[in-house]
Structure 1
C-alpha cells in the first residue's frame, strides 16, 4: 500500500480551502489541481480579460478584441513553478477563450491543465462556462475533467456582481473527490473607472461559514500605470492572512505585470505579459499625438456599390466624422490635427459651419490645428479659416472667387417641346414648379435667393475676419483675382505660407513641439473598461428627399431617400429602448411627399411624449423637412441652414403638344365623371379641374400651417406671413420664430442631454438608428401599425441614374415629375 499515503495527502490538499482560491498569488498550501495558476489581484466580479477563463468564464464576454496572456509563477513556499498561456477573442457576439497551464513542483505531481470557455450576453449581463481537462503522470489527476459556470452582472457604472460555481460536476477519480466550490464577488467603483474595490467570499459546498474572504483594490495611478493589492483571510483557524501587491505597466498593445506576495511561510512571484489587439490606456508620449484628418476621405464613405445593392451600408460619413471630431476634442492624448483640404463631398454651407465650429472646439480644448490646402473653393476656405495655421503647396489650386447661385428654368424648352404644365400651389414663394413652367426666374424666386445668398456672404466674411484677423477687404481682393495663386493669399494674410511636402514635418514640429505624428490614431479606440452600458442618445437621420416606404440610397451614391417607414421605426425603437435617454432628429432634406412628411412629424411628436426629442438641421431642413423637425421639443438650425419653405404644390404635365404634334400620337378619353381624368397627363386642366386641384393644395397648406402654429406657439396668421413657400436662412428663421436656437448637431446633443437630466461630465454614446440601406432594403422586417401606414408607394423616377445626376447638376429635382402633393424646396440651391 505504498501509494495510499501519497493519495491521501493529495486528497487532503484538494479539499483544503487553499488561498489559491482567493485569486492572489499568496498561498500557504500548494495550489489545487482544479485551480491552475494564481492571478494578480482581481475578483470574480472584476476579471474581464483572457485570464477570466481561470476565475470566472463570464468575464470573457467583456473582451472586445483578441488577447494573449503569458503567466509565469514561482512559488518559493513549495519550490513550485507554473507557466500558462491564455487566449481570448470575440466572435459572432460570443466571448471565446482557451488556455494551457503547466504546474511543476518537487513535492507534488506535475500536471497540465487545458481549458476552453465561452460567454454570451450584453454589456450589463454575461453568462459563461468553461471546461478543464488535466494531464499528469498521476493517473487520478490525469483522469480529471471539471466544469465551471459563472455569471457577471454590471447593472450600474459603479457596481459589478459575480457568481461562480467551480467543479460543478464534483468529479471523483480514484481517491480524489472534488467538492463544488462557490465564489461570490462584489466590485464597486466609488469614484470612477480609475479606482476599483472588490470583495469575494469563497467556500466549499456545505462549508459556507468556513469560507475565505478576499479584499482587492486596483488603481490607475496615471494612464499606463496600474497598482493593485489583495488581502485574504479566513474566519477559522489554520488559514493564515496572505497579502499580494502588483504593478502593471501598459503600452497600447503590450502590458507587463509583476505581482509578489506571501505569508510568513514564504513568497510567491508572478510575472504576466499581455499582447492585445485592443488598445489599452498607455503612458502618454511627451508632447502628445498629432494626427492627419483627410476631410475628402472622411466624407466620401466606404461602402462598395456591390454591397450597397445588397442592402449593406456603412454609417453616414458626415455623422461618423462629426462623432470623430467630438471624441477627438475630449481625448487628452491628442495634441494636434493636420487637416488636409481637398474637397468636401456632400457638404454645403450648413454642414461647413458645423465643421468649422468643430475645429474651433478642438482649438478651445488645447489642440493645435493646421490646415494644408491642396485645392479648395470658398466653402473649403470657410472651414479652413478656423485653423491655427493655413498652408498651401506651391501648385495648390484656389477657387476662392466669391459666392454665386445659378437658377435654371426650362419653360422655354417645354414650349419648344410642346409640353404644358398645370400647377396648383399656395404661396408666392412656392416657386418649385416655375423651373418647368417659366422661361426665367420670378421676382419672388430672385428675392428669396438673393436674401439667402446675402446671409451666406455675411457669415463667410465674418468667419474669415475672426479666424484670420484681417479686414474683409483682403478677402474681397482675393475674390477679384478669379483664380488666385497661393502666393497672393499669403500676401493678403489669408494664409500663413507656402510649403513643400518635405517641410510638413517641420511645420508640425513647430506647431506641436515634441508631438508624435500617428497615422493610426483613432479617438476612443482604447479598451473600454467602463461597467454597464453608457446611456445613449439616438440620432435618427432624415436625409434626402422624403418619400413613403424605406430610406435607401442608390449604389453609386448619387441620391438619398428618407423613407417614412424607416424614420418611424427608428423613432419607435429609440422610444422603447431603455438605454436611450433622448433622441436627436437630424434633418438634412429639402422635403418631398406631403403625406410622408406628415407621418414623420406625427412620429416625432409621439416620441416626444416619452423622451426628450431635439431636432438638428443640417444644410437644409425645408418644407417637408421642416415639417418633420417641428415635432421636437426644440429645434436647432445653423446660421446658413436653408429652411422654411412652408408651402405645398401640385404639378402635372400635359404632353399632347409633344406627342400629337411631333409624333402624331392620338388619345381619346372616355369618362363617367366630370373630373375623372383630372390627373391625366395628356391635356391641360379645364377651369373646373384647376379649381379642384387648387382646393386640394389649399387644404393641404392649411393643415401644414395649422401644425406649425401649434408646435411653434405662433398665431396662425403670423405663420402664414412667414410661410407661403418662402425660404429662410437659419439665422433669419430664428428671428421669425421658426426655430429655437442656432447650433449644430453637437449643440442639439448637448440640449438633449440636459433635457434628459444627464450630468455634463457623464460619458454618452451616440447611436444612429434608421440609416438608409441599399437596393434590397425593402426586404424583411414586420412594421408596427404606424410604420405600416407609411408603406406608401415609393415612386422611382423613370430616368436612369446617369440622367438623374445630370438633371441635378442642372438644378432640376426630378421628384417634381412624380404624382402627388409636394412639400419641397422651390429650387435646387448650390452656393459656391
Structure 2
C-alpha cells in the first residue's frame, strides 16, 4: 500500500491538476492543484506544472502563488511559480511546491523549465526534483518534454511527455505518461474550450479524459469549469471543478472549488502578480491620455545610438500610437501638447491632422494645447475638438512663404567654378551653387507649390475651426498673435492658465480617468496566434549605399540601399507579413542606391502586395525607389517627381591656385584620365562625354518610370526633366495613384492582401536606421560591393547651417551621379 501511495503521490499532475481534483481522494496529487486549465490552454507561470513549452508565452515577469486545502483529507498544499519570456523566442520558469497532510511524509517539489520557439511553435523542457525527510522519496527527479502549437487564432495543440526518464528510487518507479490536448476558440477570445487525454505508457485504454471551459464575462472577469473521468473498467468517480477570476492590471485573484462523485471537496486560491498589464474591468468613464507631440518626435541619441541602437523612426512610432489609440475602446480622450513639431513638414503635418480627425471619428474627444506654434503646428492642432492656448503662448500664424538660398555669388568670390551635366531645365539642384537668384523654371515650380500648399492650409483649417477664409487671412495680416488675440479671431477656443488645466481636463470627458502612462495595446494579448502584420519599410533621408544610419548626436538620417533591400527580402519571406508598405520621405541621393531599392521593390511585389506611401518629399531618387510598387500614395502637398539626374563637380583652381598658391600636375595615359579631377574645369570633349553619360542615365530613369507607371515614354519625358510636382499634380499626371497618408496606404495594402476589414493587423517597421558603429559593416546577405560607400554624417547644427546655405548634404559637393530634388526648399 505504501508503494501505491507514493506512486500516486508523485504521479504527474496531468488532467488531475487541470480539474483540480483526483479520482482517488485518499491519495494526494504530485503537486499543487491548478484552477481549470489544460496542456493546450495554459500560458502563464503555472505552465511549468503542465506544459513547459508554454513558458515562452508567459510575458514579462509573472509570479503566481497558489494555496490548496482538501477539506475531506485535510491535505494542504502551497506553490510559488515564477515565469517570464526572455525575448528572442525564449521563456523560463521556476517553481517551489510544498505538500503536507494525509498521514504521508511532507515533501517539496522544485522545478525548472526552459522554452524555445518561433512563430506558432514552442518546445520546452522541465526538470522536477522531489525532496523529503523520508529518504525513500527524496532525490526522485524527472524530466518533462512539451510542445505547444498555435497555428491560428482558434486552435491550440499541446503535447507533453512526463517523466521521460521514468525515474526509479528504491521501490518506486514513475512511469512515462503521455498527454495530448486540444483547445478551440469558436467565438474568439471570449470562450475557450479544451480536451485532454492522458495515459501511462502501455496502458492506452485506461487513460483519463479531461474537459475544460473558460469564458470572459466582461474584461477582467472570467469563469471556468473542469470535468475529468477515467476510461476503462476502473474508471472511477467523476470530478468537477468551478472557478472565478478577477483581474486587475498587474494582479489577479482566482478561487476554484470542486469535488468528486464519491465525496470530498477541494478549494484552491491563486494570486497573480505580473509586470505585464492584464485586461481589467472598465469602470468609470474610461481613460484620457496626454500626447506630447514634440517629445514623441524627438529621435533618441546618446550612447545607445553610437553603438547601433537607434530604434524605429519616431514619426512612424507616433503614427502607430495614433492608430492604436483610435482602435482602443478604453481610451475616451486625448490631450495634445503642440509646439515645434521637429522633423515635421507640411506632408506629415497633413497626416497628423487626418489622424486627429480619425480619433474624433472613433468617438475620442481631443483637446489641443498650443505652446509656441507656427502655421504648420497650428494646422495640426486645429484638427482637435477644442483648441486652447496658454496665457503666454504666441502664434506665428502669418501665412506661408518659400525660401531658397543661393551661393553663386560666394563661389565667384572664392574663385570656384562648377562643372554640371544635367537633363532638363527643371533639374536645378546645381543652381544653388552656380546662380545668384531664381531661374524661371525654379520660380514656376515654387509658385505652383506655394499656391497648392496655401490653398490646402486654408481649406483644412477653416473647415476644422469653422472659420471663414477671410477671418484666417485677417489673422495672417497681423503677423504674430497673442493668445487673447487668437481667441478673439476664433483660432482658439480659450486661453488657459496652468491652474485651469485640470478643470478643462475633467470637462473634456466627464468621469474619465487621466492616465499619464497610457499606451495603446499595452495589455496582455490573449490571442493564440500573432496578428498578421503589415511590414513598413522606411526609406527616410538621403539615399546612399551601405546601411541606413543616424548620427549618434541626433543628426539626420541616411537610408542605405543594403538595409532597404534586406528588409524587403525579409518581409517577402516572412509568413506573418501579409503586405508591405514602403514609406518614402526622401529627396533622393545616389542613383545606384536608388536603382537597387527600386529593383528590390519589383522583386518583393512578385511575392506580396507592395504599396508606396510618400511623406513630406519623395522626389528624384525617392520617387525612383517608390515607383515600382503596386500602388503609389502621396499626400496632397508631397514634393514628388523631380525625375532626372545630374553630375556635379567643382573646379578649385581659382581658389586653391590663384588665391592660395597651390599648384598641381597630372600625368595621364589616356585621353580623359582625370575626368572627375576637382582642380580644373572640363574640356569640351569631357563635357560631351559626361553629358552623354547623364543623358543615358536619364533615359534609363524615364524608361523605368514608363514601364512601372504604364505611361507612354514620350509623355513621361514631358513631365520629367527634373520638374517637382505636388501630390495633387502628380496624381493628375499619372505619377501617383491615390492621395492619402500612411494609414490609407496600410488600408490599401490590407485590401490587396485580402485581409478582412474587421481583422486587426500589426504594423511592423523593418529596416530601421542604426547608430554610428553599425554602419562600419555591410548588411548580412547583401553585397556591400554593389553600393557606393556612405558619406560621414555631421552633427545637426552643421547640417542645419549647410541646409540653410543651400547644401542639403555635404555629399552634394562630391563628384558623382545624383538623383536628388532640385533645391533645398523651406516653406514657413
Choose the corresponding residue for 1:719, options 697, 716, 721.
716
Counterpart of 2:86 in structure 1 is 91
* Alpha-carbon offset, residue 668 of structure 1: 3.2
* Structure 1 pair 128–34 and aligned structure 2 pair: CA distance change class (3 A): farther
Residue 430 of structure 1 contacts residue 724 of structure 1 at CA under 8 Å; is this kept in 2?
yes
Counterpart of 2:740 in structure 1 is 743
Question: How many Å separate the matches in 2 of 1:441 and 1:796?
Answer: 30
Choose the corresponding residue for 1:819, options 778, 794, 815.
815
Counterpart of 1:78 in structure 2 is 73
* Alpha-carbon offset, residue 693 of structure 1: 1.7
Question: How many Å separate the matches in 1 of 2:73 and 2:795?
Answer: 80
* Alpha-carbon offset, residue 231 of structure 1: 1.0
Question: How many Å separate the matches in 2 of 1:640 and 1:738?
Answer: 14
Q: Which secondary structure state, in structure 2, belongs to the residue aligned with residue 710 of structure 1?
A: helix
Question: How many Å separate the matches in 2 of 1:286 and 1:72?
Answer: 33
- What is the CA deviation profile of residues 204-258 of structure 1, one whole-angstrom value per residue up to 9, with x for unaligned ones? 1211110111111111111111111111112233411111111111110011111
Stretch moving more, 255-264 or 327-336: 255-264
1:743-782 equivalent positions in 2, closer than 5 A: 743-780=740-777
* Structure 1 pair 164–783 and aligned structure 2 pair: CA distance change class (3 A): closer
Q: Does 1:810 align with 2:805?
A: yes
* Structure 1 pair 666–144 and aligned structure 2 pair: CA distance change class (3 A): closer
* Structure 1 pair 20–213 and aligned structure 2 pair: CA distance change class (3 A): closer
- What is the CA deviation profile of residues 592-613 of structure 1, one whole-angstrom value per residue up to 9, with x for unaligned ones? 1112111111111111111111
* Structure 1 pair 341–15 and aligned structure 2 pair: CA distance change class (3 A): closer
Question: How many Å separate the matches in 2 of 1:674 and 1:98?
Answer: 77
Stretch moving more, 290-299 or 714-723: 714-723
* Alpha-carbon offset, residue 22 of structure 1: 5.1
* Alpha-carbon offset, residue 627 of structure 1: 0.6
Q: Which secondary structure state, in structure 1, belongs to the residue aligned with residue 501 of structure 2?
A: helix
Question: How many Å separate the matches in 2 of 1:122 and 1:651?
Answer: 50
Stretch moving more, 503-512 or 92-101: 92-101
Q: Which secondary structure state, in structure 1, belongs to the residue aligned with residue 379 of structure 2?
A: helix
Q: Where in structure 1 are there 5+ consecutive unaligned residues?
A: none
Choose the corresponding residue for 2:197, options 176, 197, 201.
201
* Alpha-carbon offset, residue 665 of structure 1: 2.1
Choose the corresponding residue for 1:298, options 289, 292, 296.
296
Question: How many Å separate the matches in 1 of 2:403 and 2:198?
Answer: 77
- What is the CA deviation profile of residues 12-65 of structure 1, one whole-angstrom value per residue up to 9, with x for unaligned ones? 645989886251113342486672011111100110100111111111110121
Question: How many Å separate the matches in 2 of 1:227 and 1:442?
Answer: 75
* Structure 1 pair 562–189 and aligned structure 2 pair: CA distance change class (3 A): same
- What is the CA deviation profile of residues 350-374 of structure 1, one whole-angstrom value per residue up to 9, with x for unaligned ones? 1111111111111111111000111
* Structure 1 pair 274–653 and aligned structure 2 pair: CA distance change class (3 A): same
Q: Which secondary structure state, in structure 2, belongs to the residue aligned with residue 209 of structure 1?
A: helix
- What is the CA deviation profile of residues 536-558 of structure 1, one whole-angstrom value per residue up to 9, with x for unaligned ones? 22111111111122211111122
Stretch moving more, 557-566 or 613-622: 557-566
Q: Which secondary structure state, in structure 2, belongs to the residue aligned with residue 455 of structure 1?
A: helix
Q: Does 1:253 align with 2:250?
A: yes
Counterpart of 1:65 in structure 2 is 60
Choose the corresponding residue for 1:623, options 615, 620, 624.
620
Counterpart of 2:538 in structure 1 is 541
* Structure 1 pair 11–556 and aligned structure 2 pair: CA distance change class (3 A): closer
* Structure 1 pair 416–25 and aligned structure 2 pair: CA distance change class (3 A): same
- Normalised by the size of structure 1, how large is the TM-score? 0.96
- What is the CA deviation profile of residues 730-754 of structure 1, one whole-angstrom value per residue up to 9, with x for unaligned ones? 1111111110001111111111111
Q: Does 1:124 align with 2:124?
A: no
Residue 67 of structure 2 contacts residue 78 of structure 2 at CA under 8 Å; is this kept in 1?
yes
* Alpha-carbon offset, residue 440 of structure 1: 0.9
* Alpha-carbon offset, residue 343 of structure 1: 1.7
Q: Does 1:136 align with 2:132?
A: yes
Residue 76 of structure 1 contacts residue 268 of structure 1 at CA under 8 Å; is this kept in 2?
yes
- What is the CA deviation profile of residues 355-409 of structure 1, one whole-angstrom value per residue up to 9, with x for unaligned ones? 1111111111111100011111111110011100011110012221111111111
- What is the CA deviation profile of residues 59-113 of structure 1, one whole-angstrom value per residue up to 9, with x for unaligned ones? 1110121111111111123221111111112335421111111222234332222
Question: How many Å separate the matches in 1 of 2:412 and 2:26?
Answer: 95
* Structure 1 pair 33–480 and aligned structure 2 pair: CA distance change class (3 A): same
Q: Which secondary structure state, in structure 1, belongs to the residue aligned with residue 523 of structure 2?
A: coil
Choose the corresponding residue for 2:453, options 445, 451, 456.
456
Question: How many Å separate the matches in 2 of 1:309 and 1:778?
Answer: 10
Q: Which secondary structure state, in structure 2, belongs to the residue aligned with residue 191 of structure 1?
A: strand
* Alpha-carbon offset, residue 801 of structure 1: 6.7
Residue 636 of structure 2 contacts residue 726 of structure 2 at CA under 8 Å; is this kept in 1?
yes
Q: Does 1:494 align with 2:484?
A: no
Q: Where in structure 2 are there 5+ consecutive unaligned residues?
A: none
Q: Which secondary structure state, in structure 2, belongs to the residue aligned with residue 556 of structure 1?
A: coil
Question: How many Å separate the matches in 2 of 1:495 and 1:32?
Answer: 75
Q: Does 1:228 align with 2:224?
A: yes
Choose the corresponding residue for 2:51, options 47, 52, 56.
56
1:233-248 equivalent positions in 2, closer than 5 A: 233-236=229-232, 237-248=234-245
Counterpart of 2:610 in structure 1 is 613
Counterpart of 1:516 in structure 2 is 513
* Structure 1 pair 690–550 and aligned structure 2 pair: CA distance change class (3 A): same
Counterpart of 1:312 in structure 2 is 309
Counterpart of 1:337 in structure 2 is 334
- What is the CA deviation profile of residues 301-330 of structure 1, one whole-angstrom value per residue up to 9, with x for unaligned ones? 2232x2222222111101111111111111
Q: Does 1:108 align with 2:104?
A: yes
Question: How many Å separate the matches in 2 of 1:92 and 1:15?
Answer: 33
1:300-699 equivalent positions in 2, closer than 5 A: 300-304=298-302, 306-699=303-696
* Alpha-carbon offset, residue 779 of structure 1: 4.3
Residue 211 of structure 1 contacts residue 234 of structure 1 at CA under 8 Å; is this kept in 2?
yes
Number of equivalences: 824
Residue 630 of structure 1 contacts residue 711 of structure 1 at CA under 8 Å; is this kept in 2?
yes
Q: Which secondary structure state, in structure 2, belongs to the residue aligned with residue 128 of structure 1?
A: strand
Counterpart of 1:828 in structure 2 is 824
Residue 425 of structure 2 contacts residue 721 of structure 2 at CA under 8 Å; is this kept in 1?
yes
* Structure 1 pair 589–106 and aligned structure 2 pair: CA distance change class (3 A): same
Stretch moving more, 20-29 or 494-503: 20-29
Residue 562 of structure 2 contacts residue 779 of structure 2 at CA under 8 Å; is this kept in 1?
no
- Normalised by the size of structure 2, how large is the TM-score? 0.97
Q: Does 1:174 align with 2:174?
A: no
Counterpart of 1:29 in structure 2 is 24
- What is the CA deviation profile of residues 542-587 of structure 1, one whole-angstrom value per residue up to 9, with x for unaligned ones? 1111112221111112221111111111111112222222111111
Q: Does 1:278 align with 2:276?
A: yes
- What is the CA deviation profile of residues 115-141 of structure 1, one whole-angstrom value per residue up to 9, with x for unaligned ones? 221111124111111222223333322
* Structure 1 pair 106–447 and aligned structure 2 pair: CA distance change class (3 A): same
* Structure 1 pair 30–19 and aligned structure 2 pair: CA distance change class (3 A): farther
Question: How many Å separate the matches in 2 of 1:377 and 1:831?
Answer: 11
Q: Which secondary structure state, in structure 2, belongs to the residue aligned with residue 42 of structure 1?
A: coil
Choose the corresponding residue for 2:37, options 14, 37, 42.
42
Question: How many Å separate the matches in 1 of 2:117 and 2:671?
Answer: 65
